[in-house]
Chains A and B, each alone.
Chain A
């Protein structure tokens, strides 16, 4: 059996593969079967809508060129914004994948290595049960920080300047520049620029803790305000225990 063709073909080739597929893929799939998959339209929330409309306010010309103008009438108006926002999210995700952002940024917060303090609440399964996580954007490498709680942490202006030339905002940043998201200068994001920023602003916008600002005292800065920091940490620890 162990050296026969049939044994190798059926047991090793097919049998072991299927065993692994069932145990490592089918089991989680069945476990999360009851979590409904949300469509992009269902993902739009007021936090995101605020950021999206803010983009329209800050870059009216660019926005009009990319998405046109909202029709009058209260109801149509709302539907129109939601529709355009969904469009931007889908396109933003496509850019996020196509530019390989996910090879430098992860999208999950682990319960270890103080990641909760740096980035916010640990990731839960339900957060990933939606159309924009198909395939899931967990990521396996962090050259840059995790982005799953990025929404609302920075302003739209910050993002435009950062995508145009990261070095201008983050000293020594190895993040590539993306001038093709703009029509020549950071204050003129094109359809791609608007979409990627919408996508980044979406990340974490569903959280209770939104927007999550880094809630820790970097160890470098500790000496100056040692006492305060110490006290804060103890508070945080006490909360964790509870």
Chain B
């Protein structure tokens, strides 16, 4: 490993390495394919739960298909199997390019890949065998936790050296990534060990809330935005509109995001002054988010037609619109007035899908649409299929979230009006059916994408000469 370090240090003074030397493309491809596999599993699990809710679960009464267990597989496969793998693949592409340094050790990269799939696989098996841990988003069985922790540590170890070796100020993307390595490691440790071994009851609830929130806010979000700050200027061929706003966005997010944990448990016995604190910082972050969005739309200004012609850009900006909408929605849903009605309802499920699918999945899909041709040195087999993927996904998620928001309100009002429980279930059916249809549309989008990828891989000849496609080190 020290060899790798020396090599990197000596070469940094020489001419810039080519992208092939910097980036382990095979590994990036592997990460992306693994991510897509887990997304497929996760969507099937989501569909199973959706069919259970509309009482048409074809696999009912079979222990290994217990819908409760598959619901946990659904969220965990999304978070650790799909998002994490997709993002780590992106890190392997982006970090060496931005720093012009290879990762700390390529062998370690492969070890991390293998170890992480072991962790995700063990999590899935553990949950299916009924060994889940009682922590939302941390259902990873307790005996997997130390390995996951180790994996996250190694990940930081692998990516921090190239960033550390850079001289002078670093680009926005790397702010997000650097902070993320620290945050994710700490968040995982806090969420999985503290409520299990150190505190109980109400305080464990506070830690659990902080964990749910830090996981989405300090792991998923910085990776997502880091990616956007990298890809959007490259694709639009111009710099980010305002560096000042980038600064506001990063520091505002870093400060306010972690303070919101308790908003997941409002009206619990957690002390009220802490709940107010979480509510206020949640509203504050909405203002920060607005600055980020303004910055990106400022960047797009004047090149708006790219949204029509450039598919990755369209994925990215659609995601940003959903991001803005979902955070705006949150600024309302977090207030105690809204909480009375929407907490516990499908409204929150709508929020979770809108942000996890509508934002981060879209960004990863956009990135894959952009990178696969470069990784495979060939154009897409069918651009029409790419369009279908986009539209099926976008319409699916728009319908699903609108449907669930509305349903959430109805459920909340029904409960507050003290209608019998069955009544709230009864009004849910039409909405749950629509959500299943929307889910099928999203799933169909994924299948189209997978088919297109397979076709591209197997039937389009490789074009080694296309410099524009393969050599992006300068881009």
Chain A residues packing against B (C-beta within 8 Å): 2-5, 8-9, 12-14, 16-17, 19-21, 23-25, 27-29, 31-32, 35, 37, 94-95, 97-104, 106, 108, 110-115, 117-118, 123-125, 127-131, 133-145, 167, 170-174, 176-180, 216-220
* Chain A residues within an 8 Å CB radius of B292: none
- A5 touching B163 in the complex, CB below 8 Å, given contacts A128-B205, A216-B418: yes
For window 340-354 of chain B, which residues contact chain A by CB distance below 8 Å?
340-341, 343-345, 348-349
* Chain A residues within an 8 Å CB radius of B179: 8-9, 12-13
- 9 examples of A-B residue contacts, CB within 8 angstroms: A2-B247, A20-B259, A24-B210, A24-B262, A32-B202, A128-B204, A144-B421, A172-B426, A172-B429
Asked if A100 and B66 make an inter-chain contact with CB atoms under 8 angstroms apart, the answer reads: yes
* Chain A residues within an 8 Å CB radius of B269: 108, 123-125, 127-128
- A113 touching B412 in the complex, CB below 8 Å, given contacts A28-B271, A125-B269: yes
Is B178 in the interface zone, CB < 8 Å from A? yes
B212 to chain A, nearest CB (A): 8
CB nearest neighbor in B for A27? B274
Interface contacts beyond A25-B261, A133-B200: sample of 6 additional A-B pairs, CB < 8 Å, sorted by A: A23-B259, A95-B130, A125-B269, A129-B202, A167-B55, A217-B418
B276 to chain A, nearest CB (A): 12
Q: Top 3 closest A-B pairs, CB basis?
A: A100-B68, A128-B201, A20-B258
Is B69 in the interface zone, CB < 8 Å from A? yes
B434 to chain A, nearest CB (A): 15
- A9 touching B425 in the complex, CB below 8 Å, given contacts A20-B259, A141-B348, A219-B418: no
Is B283 in the interface zone, CB < 8 Å from A? no
Task: Count residues of chain B with CB under 8 A from any CB of chain A.
Answer: 93
Asked if A135 and B208 make an inter-chain contact with CB atoms under 8 angstroms apart, the answer reads: yes
Is B57 in the interface zone, CB < 8 Å from A? yes
Report the number of A-B residue pairs with Cβ-Cβ less than 8 Å: 247
Asked if A130 and B201 make an inter-chain contact with CB atoms under 8 angstroms apart, the answer reads: yes
Asked if B196 and A135 make an inter-chain contact with CB atoms under 8 angstroms apart, the answer reads: yes
Asked if B60 and A14 make an inter-chain contact with CB atoms under 8 angstroms apart, the answer reads: no
Asked if B274 and A24 make an inter-chain contact with CB atoms under 8 angstroms apart, the answer reads: yes
Contact with A along B133-170 (1 / 0, CB 8 A): 11110000000000000000000000000011000011
Asked if B134 and A102 make an inter-chain contact with CB atoms under 8 angstroms apart, the answer reads: yes
Asked if A114 and B201 make an inter-chain contact with CB atoms under 8 angstroms apart, the answer reads: no
Asked if A138 and B268 make an inter-chain contact with CB atoms under 8 angstroms apart, the answer reads: yes
Asked if A118 and B258 make an inter-chain contact with CB atoms under 8 angstroms apart, the answer reads: no
- A174 touching B341 in the complex, CB below 8 Å, given contacts A113-B412, A136-B195, A136-B200: no
Is B24 in the interface zone, CB < 8 Å from A? no
CB nearest neighbor in B for A29? B203
